Structure 1
Amino acid sequence: MTDNDPKSETKPAARPDERAARAARLAAQLKANLKRRKAQARGRADADKSDTET
């Protein structure tokens, strides 16, 4: 019986330094995304205020 099942193939475990680098990249992207979303929300809030004041 041959073992050609793709589920049985596993990826080699990432080295700890690769995991740390990936975690740092993801954290930076998350922080940038949050900053961008907050800026968009502030922009919408400012636009809503200016619409209601006129």
Structure 2
Amino acid sequence: MHDGESPDKGESRGDRARKAQAAREAERKAKAAAKLRENLMRRKGQARARRAGEADDTQGLPASTPSAAKSDESS
């Protein structure tokens, strides 16, 4: 290699684009895997709590707030 040449001198624009796309895809897959692990751990904790008779830790509406779904008032 001569002075001033970059190591990627022989790469075409398409090669760099494919490498960038592959890097984005790998990052997306890593994020998805991390979310799946987080969800699995949360669900396992909920299952353990149910077996132990404890209340579930919820991340949504508090238990004292009425549900957003309307109940059947026709009866």
TM over 0.5: yes
TM-score (norm 2): 0.54
Q: List structure 1 segments (4+ residues) > 3 angstroms apart after TM superposition.
A: none
Give RMSD over aligned pairs: 2.1
**Number of aligned residues:** 48
Residue 46 (structure 1) aligns with: 43
Greater RCO between the two (CA within 8 Å, min separation 6)?
2
Q: Percent identity?
A: 11
More helix, by proportion: 1
TM-score norm. by structure 1 comes to: 0.71
Task: Report deviation, 1:9.
Answer: 7.6
Tell me the residue number matched to 2:34: 37
Unaligned runs of 5+ in 1: 1-7
Unaligned runs of 5+ in 2: 52-75
